[in-house]
Amino acid sequence: MPRIAPPAKRSVTIAGHETSISLEPIFWEALVEAANRRGLPVNALIAQIDLMRYEADGLNPANLASAIRQWLYLDALSISETADTNADPSSGA
């Protein structure tokens, strides 16, 4: 069973500006893993997600923590779909 924990606040620098983000530890871990898979520092990945949220709705963007959680969920779905596509059909998976 996944551990349930309260959000942890961390400071990050986005486009030269320091800000703090509160995410549950499991999301911080997933963010680090996603950044590592892409060969990026965590701050750079957060900056990309930040840009995406403004591109999606510049007048009323989601808050950054929410955008990160949504992005991580979509990233996990993408990984799962890729794994399903690459599965050996003879294995029954």
Q: So what's the pLDDT on residue 79?
A: 86
pTM recorded for the entire structure: 0.81
Q: For the chain, what are the domain ranges? A: 8-84
pLDDT tens for residues 76-87? 999 877 766 666
pLDDT tens for residues 34-79? 999 999 999 999 999 999 999 998 888 889 999 999 999 999 999 8
Q: So what's the pLDDT on residue 80?
A: 78
Q: How far apart are CA 42 and CA 38, in angstroms?
A: 10
Choosing among 1.10.3990.20, 1.10.760.10, 1.20.1420.20, 3.90.1150.10, the CATH entry for 8-84 is 1.10.3990.20
